[in-house]
Structure 1
């Protein structure tokens, strides 16, 4: 895979994937505002799947688990402008505003189609990626502009951007049953459920009576089996969407669990 990135600052980049596809399981530490120049992205979450393409603009809230698969499209690379809306930047922005966010508000991906104000803001960044020296305050001004536009066109966005609470201790069993397909380090699962790694492992063992890794593998393979039988999906699609990183390893683990390979199962069903 050939990946190229150009930066104005660490918080604003032009991202380009030119190979067949790129897949990652991610929980972002800050909000991500993304504008599509070309290519296609499939984002799979526990309760929704999104497909974004050229011209689309969307915001991924922080601490949201997602499988992200980036594809080139129509002979063009997967190319996006990505803006990080960090907690420090947002705290400075909201410091003098009387905003009380509803922390119960759903932290879902926000889709803005090809909104002209946002598109104008983000497309205006393109010339800066070619400059050798960038004016020091340009990134801050552009991020402030983007936040201001978001607040103008989305009356509920303050509930997302002005919510600075960290994850609290939540129901571990319910969270893991919902999010087991995301291939993240156990430390990240611990953080997102309000636990240290040690506490996460201890609580997990008490609830499931098995190690986290063995439980995760079993659950992912059971989901894969369901996808094959009920949805007739291809092995390459299932492999990445249930939390595996390598098709050969997935096929080996699947056969070890069920006694037959994905291709053998699909052949029998057909």
Structure 2
């Protein structure tokens, strides 16, 4: 799969995918502000799915789990400008502001076709042709984006000024909601407020099996449901339930259920 990325700084990049699609399971370490130039993205989270395309602008809060599937569209590559709003940068921005964020649901926020944001993000395009961008210019662009977000979304401080790290939470509830995301166990541990060792120990006590065996079983059960109840195709289900390639998915599915995914798909025709 053809993937290219060009960084102005560590926090600002232009990325594009030219092949059929690109899929990844991600935990976002920083807030991500994204402007779509072309292509299409499907973002699948535990309780919601989103489709983004040309012209869309959205913010993904940090510490979110998601499956990202990027597609070219209408003969054009998948192409975006991405700005990371890091905790370090945001602490600096809010240092002299008297802001007390309230607890709020951390969900993907849409700012489609907003002229101020689009102007800010599109103004970055010429800089990608430069060999080097002065640090102060990049800093000004990020500060501009944060300031625009605060001017158009009065509740954004509850997201951007919240610097709390994940605390220890109920493992069973969290894993039952997020098992379809194919992340390292260390990441699951972090998001549930545990070290890797503590995560494995607590998981064994809670589920009476290893994390990998449980995750595989749950993902295949979800896949079976998607075939029977949602009438989805194997290529679609495979990536949405946490597998990395179709052949491995089909092998694991047949091993668990005794028949291939195609048997269910053919049955529904």
Give TM-score, length-normalised by structure 2: 0.99
Which residue is 1:71 aligned to? Answer: 71
* Offset at residue 168 of structure 1 (A): 0.1
Which residue is 1:27 aligned to? Answer: 27
Which residue is 2:200 aligned to? Answer: 201
* Offset at residue 135 of structure 1 (A): 2.2
Gaps of 5+ in 1: none
SS at match of 1:137: helix
8 Å contact 2:15–2:79 — kept in the other structure? Answer: yes
* Offset at residue 114 of structure 1 (A): 1.3
* Offset at residue 90 of structure 1 (A): 0.1
Q: Is 1:135–2:134 an aligned residue pair?
A: yes
Q: Is 1:58–2:62 an aligned residue pair?
A: no
SS at match of 1:167: coil
Q: Which moved more, 1:221-230 or 1:125-134?
A: 125-134
8 Å contact 2:31–2:59 — kept in the other structure? Answer: yes
8 Å contact 2:8–2:132 — kept in the other structure? Answer: no
* Offset at residue 201 of structure 1 (A): 0.5
In 1, the alpha carbon distance for the partners of 2:131 and 2:173 equals 50
SS at match of 1:69: strand
SS at match of 1:176: helix
Which residue is 2:262 aligned to? Answer: 263
Q: Is 1:14–2:14 an aligned residue pair?
A: yes
In 2, the alpha carbon distance for the partners of 1:52 and 1:269 equals 30
SS at match of 1:75: coil
* Offset at residue 191 of structure 1 (A): 0.2
Which residue is 1:219 aligned to? Answer: 218
* Number of residue-to-residue matches in the alignment: 269
In 2, the alpha carbon distance for the partners of 1:4 and 1:73 equals 17
List structure 1 segments (4+ residues) > 2 angstroms apart after TM superposition.
none
Give TM-score, length-normalised by structure 1: 0.99
In 2, the alpha carbon distance for the partners of 1:6 and 1:211 equals 40
* Offset at residue 133 of structure 1 (A): 2.9
Deviation readout 1:175-231 (Å, 9 max, x if unpaired): 000000000000000000000001001100111101000000000000000000001
SS at match of 2:98: coil
SS at match of 1:80: strand
SS at match of 2:155: coil
* Offset at residue 132 of structure 1 (A): 2.0
Which residue is 1:170 aligned to? Answer: 169
In 2, the alpha carbon distance for the partners of 1:212 and 1:36 equals 36
Which residue is 1:149 aligned to? Answer: 148
Deviation readout 1:75-134 (Å, 9 max, x if unpaired): 0000000000001100000000000001x2000000111111000000000001111232
Gaps of 5+ in 2: none
Which residue is 2:113 aligned to? Answer: 114
SS at match of 1:26: strand
* Offset at residue 259 of structure 1 (A): 0.6
* Offset at residue 45 of structure 1 (A): 0.1
In 2, the alpha carbon distance for the partners of 1:147 and 1:173 equals 36
SS at match of 1:42: strand
SS at match of 1:215: helix
In 2, the alpha carbon distance for the partners of 1:168 and 1:135 equals 38
